Structure 1
Amino acid sequence: MDNLPIFTQRLILRPWEDRDRDAAWAMAQDPQVMRYLPPLTREGSDAMINRMMAMQAQHGHTFWAMARRDDGRFIGMCGFCPPRPPLVEYEIGWRLAREAWGQGYGTESARAVLDWAWAHRDMATIVAITTRANAKSRALMERIGMAHAPDEDFDHPALLETDRLRPHVLYRIARPKS
């Protein structure tokens, strides 16, 4: 499976397992975690995991489950997915449980995902998106070397015109030169 799981100093990024469902659902119940994301029902959370499992099976990568190495505790997700409308490039993304905030896990996992993507997939660039107001995700994008492409900001077509989350920003990083 292309050298999975991915191990960092403190984290394991791995394909989703059924045992992750309750922890992912608990994370989706935290209003601070979901502040910049559409709300999820339990069925929606399970469907998201099913999509991640299917993407892993089809493409060999997804937004992987993230666990701490020291105790194996699920603390979120980080990975990348193939282009899907409205995007035409591969997309990196993450979501962390609130208990994992402020400890550098987002940056550590995103850097590991970029390293894996460059080593195992042939793409020139990777993008990240978030709602305009999500300053913490935008700061993480900048910490991992992504640059805002303001002329490519967009209104997310999956969200209603009246949804406060609809305005999105796009950040991009190019494959490092060898």
Structure 2
Amino acid sequence: MIETARLLLRPWREPDKPAFHDLVNTPAMMAHFGGVTSRDRIDALLDGQMASQAADGCSMWAVEFRAGGTLAGICGLRAARPYKGTPVDDELEIGWRIGERWWGQGVAKEAAAASLAWGWANRPEPRIAAWTGAANTRSWGLMRRLGMTHRPELDYQHPLYAADDPIGAMIVYAIDRPRS
């Protein structure tokens, strides 16, 4: 669907679930998501992405290496509004989770930049936003490298976490549609 120099971003398929579970459900990968979780919860994440793709024409896609087809993670855009009542309720979200084996190799940036370009070409929203916990320095560091800026008026407490859980304290970055 989306090709870069090294990567292919494509919709998820049912057979991707075991490889994705093995890739992302590790202590390091899940440190900012509440820790290692059940297979059912990881499968539900992909079910949601497949539903988003069908409904909205986009999702946080499977990221695989063009050479060899190895699954590297997930990256893309989510138009669905799962966080009703939060400041990000109306935001087109970009997100990523790239396997720790490829951290520091530019894979997340390459996939995210391609996702942003796809969003500008195919979606009407005036900006694209991303959010993460304040402690997730790798994630918000990438947001900055992508040209996104912190939007403190959009920061919120994630509804899936207790009010006093620091993992749920989301900081929000956004980038406005480029002027043509």
Give the TM-score, by structure 2 length: 0.93
Residue 106 (structure 1) aligned to one of 97, 105, 108: 108
Going from structure 1 to structure 2, the CA distance change for 1:78 and 1:47 (only over 3 Å counts) comes to same
Q: Supply the distance in 2 between the matched residues of 1:99 and 1:161 (Cα, whole angstroms).
A: 33
Work out the CA distance in 2 between the residues paired with 1:117 and 1:36. 26
Q: 2:68 aligns with which of 71, 86, 89?
A: 71
* Cα-to-partner distance string for 1:65-105 (whole Å, 9 max, x where unaligned): 00011110001000011152222210000001111111001
Structure 1 runs of 4+ with >4 Å offset? none
Q: Distance in 2 between matches of 1:171 and 1:94?
A: 14
Q: State the distance in 1 between where 2:91 and 2:51 align.
A: 19
Alpha-carbon distance between aligned partners in 1 of 2:80 and 2:41, rounded to the nearest angstrom: 21
1:19 to partner: Cα distance: 2.0
Mapped to 1, the partners of 2:20 and 2:115 lie a distance apart of 20
Unaligned 5+ segments in structure 1 are none
CA distance in structure 1 between the aligned counterparts of 2:68 and 2:21, rounded to whole angstroms: 20
1:12 counterpart SS class: strand
Shift of 1:127: 0.5
User: Partner residue of 1:32?
Assistant: 28
* Secondary structure of 1:47 counterpart: helix
- The answer for the alignment partner of 2:46 in structure 1 is 49
What pairs with 1:9-158 in structure 2 (closer than 5 Å)?
A: 9-39=5-35, 40-84=37-81, 85=83, 86=86, 87=88, 88-158=90-160
Q: SS of the residue aligned with 1:27?
A: helix
Tell me how far apart the structure 2 counterparts of residues 78 and 154 of structure 1 sit (CA, whole Å): 22
Write the distance in 1 (CA, Å) between the matches of 2:71 and 2:123. 26
TM-score normalised by L of structure 1: 0.94
Please tell me the residue identity of whatever aligns with 1:75: A
SS at match of 2:77: strand
Moved more, 153-162 or 163-172: 153-162
Aligned pair 1:166/2:168, yes or no?
yes
Following the alignment from structure 2 to structure 1, what is the Cα–Cα distance between the partners of residues 80 and 46? 18
- 1:154: Cα distance to partner? 1.4
Distance in structure 2 (CA, Å) of the matches to 1:89 and 1:153: 12
Give yes or no for contact 2:76–2:94 (8 Å, CA) kept in 1: yes
Deviates more, 1:101-110 or 1:79-88: 79-88
Amino acid at match of 2:70: R
Deviates more, 1:79-88 or 1:10-19: 79-88
Q: Which shifted more, 96-105 or 149-158?
A: 149-158
